[in-house]
Chains A and B, each alone.
Chain A
Amino acid sequence: MKPDPGLVLRRTVVNRIAIGLFLGATLLAVAVLVLILGKLVFAGVSAFSIAIFTQGTPAPGGTGGLLNAIIGSAAMTLVAILLATPIAVLAGTYLAEYGRRSQLGNVVRFLNDTLLSAPSIIIGLFVYGVMVVPAGHFSGWAGAAALALIALPVIVRTTEDMLRLIPDSLREAAVALGCPYWRMIVSIAWRAARSGILTGILLAVARISGETAPLLFTALNNQFISVDMNAPTASLPVVIFQFAMSPYRDWQNLAWAGALLITFSVLLLNIVARTIVSRGSR
């Protein structure tokens, strides 16, 4: 049987086109990343100055920096991580150790995965309802709580995944020596998964330090340099939002500087976390 030359040609052409499209899609995605980072560096570096770190946000037309926003962001992120980490690590421990096959474990795992990709603006509305309305005012604490709720599922998921990577023979060895199970978790499982859990926390920091939507209804904004978490608190993303949407040139420039700062911190955190994971798996 002789091959039909028309069919061969058609198949080859279709295949070439498909390969071209696959390659094109990949190049397009890389190009978008390069375009976004390029614009950020181009617009951000020209607006960058030492005043960013030493002065508070200015009035339109004035000079200033982003110090109040940086302090607010750092404080809220820190409180959020301190709130979320203990609960999340213990919940992740339950999923990986005691609740591996239990009904409760399965339900919690499913809900946690759902929460992981839940819209952050919904979390903001929730915290508005339970913290801002009863208190009668916006506050840094409410902002930190909203960020904690976003960090929580990230840390739960990585803690569970990392604990599951530990071979069961290690657990059995400890328990066979008469070590109570909880003691095994604390001194062996957690210790062996330490770098993995740390990675989860780093990823959570990266995730929440760029979050804007939930802070709009909880921490709001504050144009003064302040460390009072009981008052409305400025944050980098919210200031960027406000300044970028404003008609003033100098505000827009500050927004680009802030955007550059935030993006590169987040990308750096991601790369560090990835490095820890890849070193641990070797």
Chain B
Amino acid sequence: MFTGADSEMDQKTAGPSGDLLPATAGRGVRVTRGAAVEPYFIWLTRICAVVVMVLLAGIFMVLLIDSLPALRKFGFGFFASTAWNPVKEQFGALAPVCGTLISSAIAMLIGVPLALGIALFLNELCPFKLRATLTVTIELLAAIPSIIYGMWGLFVLAPFMSTHVQPLLIAWLGPLPLVGALFQGPPFGIGMLTAGLILGVMILPFIASISRQVFATTPPVLREAAYGVGANTWEVSLHVLIPYARTGLLGGIMLGLGRALGETMAVTFVIGNAHRISASLLSPGTTISATLANEFTEAVGDVYLSSLLALGLILFMITFAVLFLARYMLGRIDQKVAA
């Protein structure tokens, strides 16, 4: 790997030792010419780095400017209205925003415990020979394109939910007070619950991967001390590993939440695209990203298009707030590891 670099250095070291005098005129010119390139090269790399920074600001500006017509027309009512009527040009963001938050909440409820379980299994229990294979297998879940999750959700999971899971949920949980309201209506298969389930599976590998890395930073002394006084695996996990890693875990969970909030294709397939807020998790709904994917290319008229872009702006602000927080927490972990 380093052979190229080595041979280059050999040539250079051969030079001065052969000449005896290091600073001959010819060599001096060559070095000066090389050094003159330095500031240009620094600026070239710096400008490319700034491009990354400008990009984020640019995205925000473009979304803001393009969504101004809708925000001007509807004012703050846009955020509080559930109206979505392309014919009368009345739009409100409440239904998609609620859908985004609810589907992500379901995803977190499913994905976080599973991911923590996987991370603890891989770190504490897994036989060493299996560990690398299992880690890669879990991480490959993250590599599958979201549209594949969507298709699988629509053709495999939704029918399964509709015939096997949802009738049971309606029969068992439906009659209960309070919780029962979440499980009413016909078992369509598609809807909030199925979308949340798919999202939960999709964010699982991300959270599991980060949690595993964070758990691995726990000093061995802590674990050994706990095992040494007789704690078992569960007690070590609950009282040593999780408390020690909590900032990093929270960062990983927030990163997963950021993914879930913005995920588009998988949700679009299984959410049902209905612009209303329903108490029941079994009924179809919509999210910001699903609304955009379904309606953007068919949107006619400036107000419709601008309303969709305003939805994009809301999604941008929610996800970036979550991602900033996640990176801030994970960043502190990095420093802790380095120190």
B331 nearest in chain A by CB position: A110
A187 to B258, CA, bound (A): 39
* Chain A interface, >50% SS class: helix
Chain B nearest CB from A278 CB (Å) reads 9
B163 contacts A by Cβ under 8 Å? no
Q: Using Cβ atoms and an 8 Å threshold, which residues of chain B touch A51?
A: none
A71 contacts B by Cβ under 8 Å? no
Within 8 A of A (CB), among B43-76: 44-46, 48-53, 55-56, 58-59, 62-63, 65-66
B45 nearest in chain A by CB position: A94
0/1 interface trace, chain B 289-328, chain A, CB 8 Å (1 if under): 1001100110000000000010010011001100110010
Say yes or no: B45 contacts A177, CB within 8 Å: no
Q: Using Cβ atoms and an 8 Å threshold, which residues of chain A touch B204?
A: 29
Chain A nearest CB from B65 CB (Å) reads 8
Chain B nearest CB from A110 CB (Å) reads 6
Q: Using Cβ atoms and an 8 Å threshold, which residues of chain B touch A256?
A: 151
A174 contacts B by Cβ under 8 Å? yes
A152 to B263, CA, bound (A): 19
A240 contacts B by Cβ under 8 Å? yes
Chain A nearest CB from B157 CB (Å) reads 9
0/1 interface trace, chain B 1-40, chain A, CB 8 Å (1 if under): 1101100110011000000000000000001001101100
Given contacts A30-B137, A94-B46, contact A179 B41 (CB under 8 A): no
Say yes or no: A129 contacts B122, CB within 8 Å: no
A60 contacts B by Cβ under 8 Å? no
Within 8 A of B (CB), among A184-215: 185, 187-188, 191-192, 194-195, 206, 209-213
Say yes or no: B319 contacts A119, CB within 8 Å: yes
Given contacts A94-B46, A180-B35, contact A267 B143 (CB under 8 A): yes
Q: Using Cβ atoms and an 8 Å threshold, which residues of chain A touch B115?
A: 25
Chain B nearest CB from A11 CB (Å) reads 6
* Chain B interface, >50% SS class: helix
Chain B nearest CB from A258 CB (Å) reads 9
Say yes or no: A36 contacts B117, CB within 8 Å: no
A149 to B54, CA, bound (A): 12
Q: Can you report 5 A-B residue pairs in the complex whose CB atoms are below 8 A from each other?
A: A32-B201, A36-B152, A90-B49, A129-B63, A183-B34
A99 to B56, CA, bound (A): 19
Q: Which residue, of B65, B113, B124, B144, has the highest number of chain A Cβ atoms within 10 A?
A: B144
Within 8 A of B (CB), among A83-97: 86-88, 90-91, 93-95, 97
Given contacts A22-B117, A126-B62, A177-B12, contact A97 B45 (CB under 8 A): yes
Say yes or no: A26 contacts B117, CB within 8 Å: yes
B interface bracket (residues with beta carbon within 8 Å of A): 35 or more
Chain A: how many interface residues by the 8 Å CB criterion?
102
Chain A nearest CB from B21 CB (Å) reads 14
Given contacts A25-B113, A39-B156, A129-B66, contact A178 B140 (CB under 8 A): no
A252 to B37, CA, bound (A): 57
Say yes or no: A122 contacts B262, CB within 8 Å: yes
A193 to B139, CA, bound (A): 24
B125 contacts A by Cβ under 8 Å? yes
Say yes or no: B5 contacts A11, CB within 8 Å: no
Given contacts A21-B117, A24-B117, A192-B2, contact A125 B309 (CB under 8 A): yes
B219 contacts A by Cβ under 8 Å? no
Say yes or no: B141 contacts A118, CB within 8 Å: no
Smallest CB-CB A-B distances: 5 pairs? A119-B262, A210-B145, A25-B117, A94-B45, A18-B234
A224 contacts B by Cβ under 8 Å? no
Say yes or no: A187 contacts B5, CB within 8 Å: yes
Checking A15, A121, A129, A181 against B38 with a beta-carbon cut-off of 8 angstroms, the contacting residue is: A181
Residues of A within 8 A of B (CB): 11-12, 14-15, 18-19, 21-26, 28-30, 32-33, 35-36, 39-40, 43, 86-88, 90-91, 93-95, 97-99, 104-105, 107-108, 110-115, 117-123, 125-126, 128-130, 133, 149, 152-153, 156, 170, 173-174, 177-183, 185, 187-188, 191-192, 194-195, 206, 209-213, 216-217, 220, 237, 240-241, 244-245, 252, 255-256, 259, 262-263, 266-267, 270, 274, 280
Residues of B within 8 A of A (CB): 1-2, 4-5, 8-9, 12-13, 31, 34-35, 37-38, 41-42, 44-46, 48-53, 55-56, 58-59, 62-63, 65-66, 113-115, 117-118, 120-122, 124-126, 134, 136-138, 140-141, 143-152, 154-156, 201, 204-205, 208, 232-235, 237, 255, 258-259, 261-265, 268-269, 289, 292-293, 296-297, 309, 312, 315-316, 319-320, 323-324, 327, 331
Say yes or no: B262 contacts A241, CB within 8 Å: no
A213 to B38, CA, bound (A): 41
A260 nearest in chain B by CB position: B148
A177 to B126, CA, bound (A): 49
Chain B nearest CB from A218 CB (Å) reads 10
